[in-house]
Chain A
Amino acid sequence: MFRAALRSLLGRKLRLLMSTFAIVLGVGFVAGTLIFSDTLSRSFTAIFASSVGDVVVRPEGGPVGEGGPSTVTIPATLTQDLAAVEGAARADGNVEAFGVFVIDADGKPIGGAGPPALAGNWTDAPAGNGLTSLVITEGREPEGPGEVVLDAKTAEKSGYDLGDDVSLVTAFQQAELSPTLVGTADFGDGGSLNGATLAIFETGAAQDLFLGGQDAFNSYWVTAADGVSQEVLRDRVAEVLPEGVEAVTGDEAADESASQLLTAISFITTFLLIFAAISLVVGSFLIVNTFSILVAQRSRELALLRALGASRRQVRRMVLIEATVVGLVGSTLGLGLGVLLFLGIRAAFGQFGLDISGTAMVFEPRTVLAAYAVGVVVTVLAAWVPARRTSRIAPVAALRDDVALPEDTLHRRFLVGLALVAAGAVGIGLALFGSVPRAGYVLGGGTLAVLLGVAAASPVLARPFLAGTSSGYARGFGAVGTLAGQNSRRNPRRTAATASALMIGLTLCVTMAIVGSSAKASVDAAVEENFVGDFVVSNVFGVPFSPSVADRIEEDVAGVDSVTRLRFGPVEVDGEREGLLGTDPASLAETAQIEMVEGSLAELDASSVVIAEDVAEDRGVGVGDRLEVQAIGGDSTFTVAGIFAENPVLSFPLVVTLEAFADAGFQPSDNFLFVDVAAGSDREAARAAMEDIVAGNTLVSVKDQEGLAEEQRGPIDQLLTLIYGLLALALVIAVLGIVNTLALSVIERTREIGLLRAIGLSRRQLRTMIRLESVVIAVLGALLGTGLGLVFGVVLMKDLESEGLEVIAVPWGQLAAFLVVSLLVGVLAAVFPARRAGRLDVLRAIATE
């Protein structure tokens, strides 16, 4: 049986190749994603191992999220105490700063504004476990103010040579710096910054720039003497530490940082795996269809095998063996594609600033296992349905002229489809509007169930459409139209299944189009409603910038009434993440109308907080109650001075004064400025003056309402482009599905085509006929997809209403474009099968069995 299965496989190479393609793509995505995430994880593990000492001494509280190092410092006097600890070889103080961007000759920050822009002081302390930390690869170490060392990769990318003045933009008091490049450095024991940039200064210079000139450090590395373990040293160090400072082992600190970062970027893996799942689902439609048609075409051959004594099981197994082989071949090719995709994903993320090219590709055995498991399981499952049908072929069919496979009634299938849709709808509803554990999985499962349900019900759902196109075709295209219309109705199952593959891709495209355009409309609406003052100074990424920008606007720009600063920082309340917003309440109240539910903004002082309505409700706190907040600078307790109603100006729920914000340990950098120009003064002159101030600061810009809205729409468009690009793959698979179905049906109808040609159908008419059939499938898929996408999109937007996306905008023009594209897709998919049909030799076609 095995040999018979292989033979029949080889006899149908082309058809199987096309169905394999779907598997290859799906498996490729899975493999590529796994390789990427393994490599990513190793690269971060390596870098973090090289950036901790044996024991790390730091202010208590530890880092919360990506807020950067704390402004809470440890006096430099501790150095001697630490070095004197028994078992300590040396102790070195570190200055750590975030938001020091290296600007290249074109005025662009290296790596964009995505990856962290780090700065620090130079030490030659070894990293934990005897690893070499930074070493100078070229030039020398920085020796005084006005000198800087860059990491080698950043130096290379920025094009600065030794001796050049490096242009830096910082989030600190000195917004712009131009020190001389005296050297480049790299991690001696491997580890790449993954696209982050690092600027290193002499210790005193670093303290001046980033710690306001105090002789202190953000943290210490204590290096263990030979034979002393990290744990032992940590315990001894702990004994000499003052209040509010803690010691952790380097291993612990590295794990902590790595796992925090990997959690933060785990969405990348999830995102890619979702697309792998989509292409596998779409691909499995293609496989079901291909095997169904192959089984139908071969029913006579299979009947002959049965007549010769093969059991039902043997025949069924033969089909499944074929599927297994297809799955194996597909998975193998998919693995290869996975490596290519990995390179592509790596390059793509490199563009966004996450550059992991410094780490060799990590190819775990698990990746291979997953690729084969996914490929083979999906193929065999998909082939199982048609394989089951072979057992209904009676041996006597071998003797008959025309064998028709018995089919299930569409009625049952329709009901099963409806049941699936209902179950899926309930799942989606629960996931979006109820509270179920693992809502993401429930949502995905529900969506899949609805898609499969509609696919199952589609032969019945498609009836009116097919009837309509049939009569339309007959009217518009005469005999050729009649033939094409009848052909598409000949096997509604097949037409609908092929269309369903396209439907899935389009459903997702339409959903994304609706979410995207709604998000953009919501941004516009939010900006319009809440734009306060005359101008804002900010950047789209929310990267903090130097407070000197606001200082200079206040001092130097004529006609400016007030500048309101907003500063953002991540904190925790009862272990849950919240956002802290620092601002000057007086100037905020002047600029924006903040509606208070209780209390008042004016009462805000350094020891109090104003909180959002929903946080007050969730936590059951009211005015006068105390609220404990964990920030990077440690825990602080605030008195609730007021509760404000939801509004987009205060985008974080805990609002404190700038003083309290600094006390919480955050760097004094601004994230957002509202600028109010006094009535009667020259707006445009003020604007020009502000633009002058930020001219050298490529991170921020001055915008009015329209400019801000436009800037905020930018990232949405970028994300949509990325998603459309990935969904295009699902569409490609669907198009291949149409090609496959048509090509197979041409083969199936060889005699009929021969007959039509014999009685006078021209090649051109034949091609038109097949093109029309293809267009029916494509348009059916597009209509189902658009309909379903509309429903999904609107439901999703209903859910997102609570997240501030309040406008539901349906991009009708775009939907119309999708329909036109699918029409073209239909025409395109028909090219190959139509050519093939046209080339059939009339006589031989008629003589075909």
Chain B
Amino acid sequence: MSNGSGAPAARVEGLTKTYGAGEALVRALDGITLELGDGEFTAVMGPSGSGKSTLMHCCAALETYDSGAVFLGDQDLTGMKDKELTRLRRDQIGFVFQSFNLVPTLTAEENILLPLAIAGRKPDPEWYRSVIDTVELGDRLTHKPSELSGGQQQRVAVARALVSRPRIVFADEPTGNLDSHSGAEVLSLLRRSADEHGQTIVMVTHDPVAAAWTDRVVFLADGRVVDELRSPDREQVLEVMARASARPGEVA
């Protein structure tokens, strides 16, 4: 299940997105076409301004785009209203942000169950148990976020993203604020989710070490896919990054 066989979990076709106008026009996405395989753990990398965050936000129903299409499964997101997008986010997408992932007034457990609670659904007890076990929080489930370490908070965030069995989990620099040890814990958790539960995961990252945990790395520059690696290791990633970052230099 861990390789991209079968129908894709999501795919984008000719996606473009610009910000601003006139001289200040920025082409964040310049006709990207990409498939995200079902059950695959994909990293999106690229220098600042390459469009990787915009791509993720468009896929995650957080941002509208100018042209092209985004499909989640066989659903086209193009032209959906806020209400439908919200429902989509709630039921089919999981999120892990870089920081401030948790509602400070709720306990870890309440945070994990929040998307289900918002939808007014009960968790599947078996699935919930296995998610909790994977997260390895033990007795800290009843604690408020302020009483948890950064690594623990991110693991709660991952658990929350997983608990509603979304079609796809988006992680935006989930280890960006963590030390390497805590970061490894979070990445290993994501890795196991993909391996054990076949969870599709897309992660935006700067960190070659983090990218090395994934099945596939997609490199973006100037709003386009410029390279791709399968089953990468850290050195390969660094090499591609070196090439990618050299390119804008040549243009200038």
Pairing of A with B: yes
Complex CA gap A846/B89 in Å reads 15
Question: Do residues A482 and B104 form an inter-chain contact, with CB atoms below 8 A?
Answer: no
CB pair B100 A752 closer than 8 Å: yes
Interface centre among B86, B91, B99, B115 (most CB of A within 10 A): B86
Q: Give chain B interface residues in 53-112, CB to chain A under 8 Å.
A: 57, 60, 62-63, 82-83, 86-87, 89-91, 94-95, 97, 99-106, 110
A755 and B100 form a contact (CB under 8 A): yes
Cα A487 to Cα B101 in complex, Å, equals 17
A80 close to chain B: CB less than 8 A: no
A486-B106, A755-B97 given; A760·B117 CB < 8 A: no
A-B contact count (CB 8 A): 73
With a cutoff of 8 Å between Cβ atoms, the chain A residues found around residue B100 in the complex are 751-752, 755, 846
Pair A756/B103 contact, Cβ less than 8 Å: yes
By the criterion CB–CB under 8 Å, are B83 and A758 in contact?
no
Interface positions of A (Cβ within 8 A of B): 401, 478-480, 482-483, 486-487, 489-490, 751-752, 755-763, 765, 842-843, 846
Residues of B within 8 A of A401 (CB): 99
Give Cα A316–Cα B70 distance, bound, in whole angstroms. Answer: 53
Least distance between A755 CB and chain B CB atoms (Å): 7
Q: Find the A residue at minimum CB distance from B91.
A: A760
Q: Choose among B62, B105, B160 the residue that contacts A486 (Cβ–Cβ < 8 A).
A: B105
Minimum C-beta distance from A763 to chain B (A): 7
- Contact check: which of A482, A483, A760 meets B115 at CB < 8 Å? A760
Q: Are B87 and A479 in contact (CB under 8 A)?
A: no
Q: In the complex, how many angstroms separate the beta carbon of A315 from the nearest chain B beta carbon?
A: 26
A765: which B residues are within 8 A, CB to CB? 118
Checking B57, B82, B90 against A759 with a beta-carbon cut-off of 8 angstroms, the contacting residue is B90
At the interface, yes or no: B1 with Cβ under 8 Å from chain A? Answer: no
Per a CB cutoff under 8 Å, which of A755, A756, A763 touches B82? A763
Instruction: Give complex CA distance A762, B83 in Å.
Output: 7
Q: With A482-B117, A752-B103, A843-B57 in contact, is A759–B110 under 8 Å at CB?
A: no
A759 near B89: Cβ-Cβ < 8 Å: yes
Nearest A residue to B86 via CB reads A762
Other 7 A-B pairs with CB < 8 A, given A752-B100, A761-B118, A842-B62: A478-B117, A755-B103, A759-B118, A760-B86, A761-B86, A763-B83, A846-B100
- Would you call B89 and A758 a contact (CB within 8 A)? yes
> Within the complex, which residue of A490, A759, A760, A843 is in contact with B63, where a contact is CB–CB below 8 Å?
A843
How far, in Å, is B235 (CB) from chain A's closest CB? 33
Q: Which residues of B contact A759 (CB under 8 A)?
A: 89-90, 94-95, 114-115, 118, 160
Q: Which residue of A lies closest to B100 (CB)?
A: A751
B106 close to A757 (CB less than 8 A): no
Interface membership of B6, Cβ < 8 A: no
Is B120 interfacial (CB-CB < 8 Å)?
yes
Q: Mind listing 19 A-B residue pairs with CB under 8 Å?
A: A483-B106, A486-B106, A489-B105, A490-B104, A751-B100, A752-B104, A755-B100, A758-B95, A759-B90, A759-B118, A760-B90, A760-B115, A760-B119, A761-B90, A761-B118, A763-B83, A763-B86, A843-B57, A846-B97
Q: How far is the CA of A487 from the CA of B223 in the complex (A)?
A: 40
- Complex CA distance for A486 and B104, rounded to whole angstroms: 9
Chain B residues positioned under 8 Å from A489 (CB to CB)? 105
Cα distance A757–B118 when bound, in Å? Answer: 10
Instruction: List chain A residues, Cβ under 8 A from B87.
Output: 760, 762
A483 adjacent to B103 (CB under 8 Å): yes
Determine how close the nearest CB of chain B comes to the CB of A405; give it in whole angstroms.
Answer: 15
Which chain B positions have C-beta within 8 A of A761? 86, 90, 118
Once bound together, how far apart are the Cα atoms of A759 and B163, in whole Å? 12
Taking CB atoms, residues of chain A closer than 8 Å to B63 are 843
CA gap between A334 and B210 in the complex, in Å: 61
Task: Please list the 7 inter-chain residue pairs (A to B) with the smallest Cβ-Cβ separation, ordered nearest first.
Answer: A760-B90, A479-B117, A486-B105, A762-B86, A479-B118, A760-B89, A759-B115
- Report yes or no: A482 in contact with B110, Cβ–Cβ below 8 A: yes
CB distance from B98 to the nearest CB of A (A): 9
Contact B160 A490 (CB under 8 A): no
Partner of A490, one of B90, B105, B117: B105
